[in-house]
A and B are shown apart, each in its own frame.
Chain A
Amino acid sequence: MLAALGTVRDPELDEPVTSLGFVSSCTVSAEGVADVHLRLPTYFCAPNFAFLMVADAYEAVSGVPGVSRTAIVLEDHFAADAINSGVAARAGFVDSFGELANAELDQLRTDFVRKAVLAGTDRVCRPLLAAGRTTDDLADLTLGEVPPSADRERLRARRAEIGLPSADDSPLLVDAVTGAAVGAAALPLHLQKARLTRVGAEANSGICRGMLRERYATSGLGQESS
C-alpha cells in the first residue's frame, strides 16, 4: 500500500506524497477495504493540486492486489468535502466543483511535468559539469551515455510522461516543450533556467515541509525529514 502511495506525487513539488509526509494513515481491512487519510501543509493549499493527489492516490491504491474498495480522505482542508466526494464518485474536477471550475487539470499537470523535466535536467547535468565535462560535451551526449543514476531515470520517466524523447539514444538536453535537441549555443541559458527551476521547486518544497511541521506534531507514513 505504502509503495503504491509512493508513486503518487505532489504535481507541484514533484515529490512522492509519502516522503513529503502527506500520508497520515493507511489501513486495509480483512475484507480488502483500503482507507487512506491524506493531509496537507495548510487549510488553503491549492485545491486543484489537492484534487490531483487524492485522485491519483485513489487510482494507485485501487490497483493494489487484494484491495476491493478504496476510500481516500483528505483531512483539514477547506475543499475537502468536494474533493473527497468527487473522487469517490469518480467524477472529474469540473463535476466535483461545479461552477467553481470550468476546465480539467490536464494542462496544469503537463505544465508542471515540464518544470520537473527542467529541474531534473539540472540534477543530472550538475554532477557531470562538476566532474569536468564542458557544456559543449553535454550538447553531444545522449541519455544513454550519462552514467546510470536514480536522477537519470527520474528525468527519463518525466520526459516519457509528456511525450518527450526518452530513449537511450535521445539527446540528453531537449527543449521541455518541443523535445528538440538544445544546441551548444543555447545550452548555457538552458542550464541556467534548469538550475533556477530546480531552486524554485526545492525552496517551495522546503516551505511546504516547514508548514506541515508547524501544523502537525506527528510524522506522516514514509515521511523523510530532508
Chain B
Amino acid sequence: MYEKDGEKYFVVDSHMHYWDASPANWVPGQENYAKGWIDCFHAYQGLGPAETHWSIEHFQKYSEDDLMKDVFEDGHVDVAIFQPTYLKSWYSEGFNTTEKNGALAEKHPGKFRVNSRFEPRGGDAAMKEFEDNVARWQPKGVKLYTAEWLDGSRGWTLKDPEAYRFLQRAQELGVKNIHVHKGPTIWPLDKDAFDVSDVDHAATDFPELNFIVEHVGLPRIEDFCFMATQEPNVYAGLSVVIGGLMHARPKFFAKVMGELLFWVGEDKMTFGSDYGIWEPKWQVEGFVDWDYPSDEFSDYPRVNAATKKKILGLNAAKLYDIEVPVECRLPAAEGIPAARDDAALVDDGTSRVGV
C-alpha cells in the first residue's frame, strides 16, 4: 500500500518476473542469444532513473531477498503477479518459469499470484502439462507468446483451432486472465508479430475471459487501441509504458497515457512494473504524482486519484479476485474498477476530436 496526500493506493503489480539469466544458466552454443537477451533488458533499465540502475551481474541474477525488498518492502506492492517466460532454448533451466516463481510464492503466502502458460501446438501432452500446472499452482491467468517458434511452426495465433481448445479449457478451469505479449519480438522474421487481430477474434468468442494485452502492442499502439475499443473484455497492460517512458520521455508518456485513457479508459488499464527490468518504487511514486505536463494535453481525459487507484491496483484486483482493504476502495461514484461497459468512449467522436 502506498499513501500520499491522505489517499491510500492498493498496489497490484500485475506483470513481474523472477529470472535467472546468469552465465551458468546459458545453453552451450546459444550464449550470444542468452547474453544478447539479458543485455537488451538491461539497456531498458537504463530508461529509468539513474539511482535505480543495477550492475549487469546483479541484473542477470537477483536473489529472493532482493525481490522481496524491492517489490514489497520498498516498492509499495501489496500483491505481485508472476508472469512466466520460458526461453528454454537459451536458458538451461528456463529464464523465468512457473515452477521457479511458484516455489517463491509458496514461501510467502498471500504475496504472489502465480500465472502459468500453455502451448497450443503441443497437443495432448501440452494440455496435460497445462492441467497439471493449474492443479499444482491454481493460476488465475496465463502469459502467452504467440510469436514463439516451435519445431516447424512459425508462431501461432489466438484464433487457431488449437488455441481455441486451450482457451476453452482455461475458461472451464477458471484461468480467466489471458495476458498476451504483443510487443517487441524476434521471430518469425517475415510476419508482423505485433498484429493484434487475433485478440479481437478470441475476445469476441470467449466473453468470459479477460485479454490483457501486455505492452499495449507497442510499437503498434494504434492497432491495439482500435481493437480494444470494440471489445469489452480487452485490457491494456501498462508494463513498459510506465517504466520505459515516464522518466525517460515524459512528454511522450503523457501522450500515450492520454490516448490510452481516451480509447481504452481508466477501468481497463493495469499497472505492471516489469520487475526486474524496473523497480516498482519509482514507478508507483512517480505515477501517483503524475499529471499532464501542460495545457497542450487538454484534449485528453483528466486523471485524478481515483484514476490512479484503479490503474495501480483496483482493476487488477478485480480481475484476480484479490480482496482490497476497505480504506483503499473507491466510493461508488468513482465507478467500478475493471468495468467492461466503458467501451463506448469513442462512439461520439464528434465532440472529442483533438484540436
Cβ–Cβ contact A207 & B245, under 8 A: yes
- Return 20 A-B CB contacts under 8 Å, by A number: A12-B219, A44-B36, A47-B186, A48-B190, A105-B190, A108-B190, A126-B354, A192-B352, A195-B354, A196-B221, A196-B259, A199-B252, A199-B259, A200-B256, A200-B259, A206-B248, A207-B245, A210-B47, A211-B43, A211-B44
Cβ–Cβ contact A199 & B40, under 8 A: no
Measured CB to CB, the nearest residue on chain A to B37 is A44
Q: A44-B186, A192-B352 are in contact. List 11 more A-B contacts (CB 8 A).
A: A44-B40, A78-B33, A100-B189, A101-B190, A104-B190, A199-B255, A200-B259, A203-B219, A203-B249, A203-B255, A207-B249
Q: Beyond A43-B36, A44-B36, is A207–B47 a contact (Cβ under 8 Å)?
A: yes
**A93 on the B face (CB < 8 A):** yes
**B349 on the A face (CB < 8 A):** yes
Cβ–Cβ contact B354 & A192, under 8 A: yes
Could you tell me how many residues of chain B have their Cβ less than 8 Å away from some Cβ of chain A? 45
B258-280 CB contacts (< 8 Å) to partner A: 258-259, 262-263
Cβ–Cβ contact A188 & B189, under 8 A: no
Using a CB–CB distance below 8 Å, which chain B residues touch chain A? Answer: 32-33, 36-37, 39-40, 43-44, 46-47, 154, 184-190, 192, 218-222, 225-226, 244-245, 248-249, 252-253, 255-256, 258-259, 262-263, 346, 349-350, 352-355
Cβ–Cβ contact B256 & A199, under 8 A: yes
Number of A-B contacts (CB under 8 A): 126
Cβ–Cβ contact B186 & A101, under 8 A: no
Using a CB–CB distance below 8 Å, which chain A residues touch chain B? Answer: 12, 41-44, 46-48, 78-79, 93-94, 97, 100-105, 108, 111, 115, 118, 126, 129-130, 135, 188-189, 191-193, 195-197, 199-204, 206-207, 210-211, 213-215
**Bound CA–CA A43/B186 (angstroms):** 10
Q: Which of A191, A202, A210 contacts B353 (CB 8 A)?
A: A191
Cβ–Cβ contact B43 & A206, under 8 A: no
Q: How far is the CB of B103 from chain A (nearest CB, A)?
A: 29
Cβ–Cβ contact B245 & A135, under 8 A: no
Cβ–Cβ contact B222 & A197, under 8 A: yes
Q: Beyond A196-B221, A200-B222, is A210–B189 a contact (Cβ under 8 Å)?
A: no
Cβ–Cβ contact B354 & A211, under 8 A: no
Cβ–Cβ contact A192 & B353, under 8 A: yes
**Bound CA–CA A126/B354 (angstroms):** 8
Main secondary structure of the interface of A (DSSP, over half): helix
Cβ–Cβ contact A207 & B220, under 8 A: no
Measured CB to CB, the nearest residue on chain B to A43 is B36
Measured CB to CB, the nearest residue on chain B to A115 is B222
Measured CB to CB, the nearest residue on chain B to A105 is B190
**Bound CA–CA A44/B87 (angstroms):** 15
**Bound CA–CA A93/B82 (angstroms):** 38
Measured between beta carbons, the chain A residues less than 8 angstroms from B192 are 108, 111
Cβ–Cβ contact A196 & B225, under 8 A: yes
Cβ–Cβ contact A193 & B47, under 8 A: no
Q: Which of B154, B187, B219, B244 contacts A200 (CB 8 A)?
A: B219
Q: Which of B39, B46, B252, B354 contacts A203 (CB 8 A)?
A: B252
Cβ–Cβ contact B44 & A188, under 8 A: no
**Bound CA–CA A197/B219 (angstroms):** 10
Measured CB to CB, the nearest residue on chain A to B189 is A101
Cβ–Cβ contact B222 & A214, under 8 A: no
Q: Beyond A42-B40, A43-B40, A214-B47, is A200–B189 a contact (Cβ under 8 Å)?
A: no
Measured CB to CB, the nearest residue on chain A to B223 is A200
Measured between beta carbons, the chain B residues less than 8 angstroms from A196 are 221-222, 225, 259, 263
Measured between beta carbons, the chain B residues less than 8 angstroms from A135 are 353
Cβ–Cβ contact A204 & B255, under 8 A: no
Measured CB to CB, the nearest residue on chain A to B353 is A188
**Bound CA–CA A199/B220 (angstroms):** 10
**Bound CA–CA A22/B221 (angstroms):** 24
Cβ–Cβ contact B259 & A43, under 8 A: no
**Bound CA–CA A4/B43 (angstroms):** 30
Q: Which of A94, A100, A195, A207 contacts B188 (CB 8 A)?
A: A100
Q: How far is the CB of A95 from chain B (nearest CB, A)?
A: 12
Measured CB to CB, the nearest residue on chain A to B347 is A189
Q: How far is the CB of B154 from chain A (nearest CB, A)?
A: 8
Q: Beyond A206-B245, A207-B47, is A78–B32 a contact (Cβ under 8 Å)?
A: yes
Q: How far is the CB of A11 from chain B (nearest CB, A)?
A: 12
Q: How far is the CB of B41 from chain A (nearest CB, A)?
A: 10
Measured between beta carbons, the chain A residues less than 8 angstroms from B43 are 41-42, 211, 214-215
Q: How far is the CB of A132 from chain B (nearest CB, A)?
A: 10
Measured between beta carbons, the chain A residues less than 8 angstroms from B346 are 189, 192
Q: How far is the CB of B309 from chain A (nearest CB, A)?
A: 25
Measured between beta carbons, the chain B residues less than 8 angstroms from A206 are 245, 248-249, 252
Q: How far is the CB of A194 from chain B (nearest CB, A)?
A: 9
Cβ–Cβ contact A46 & B184, under 8 A: yes
Q: Which of B37, B244, B349 contacts A192 (CB 8 A)?
A: B349
**Bound CA–CA A84/B252 (angstroms):** 34
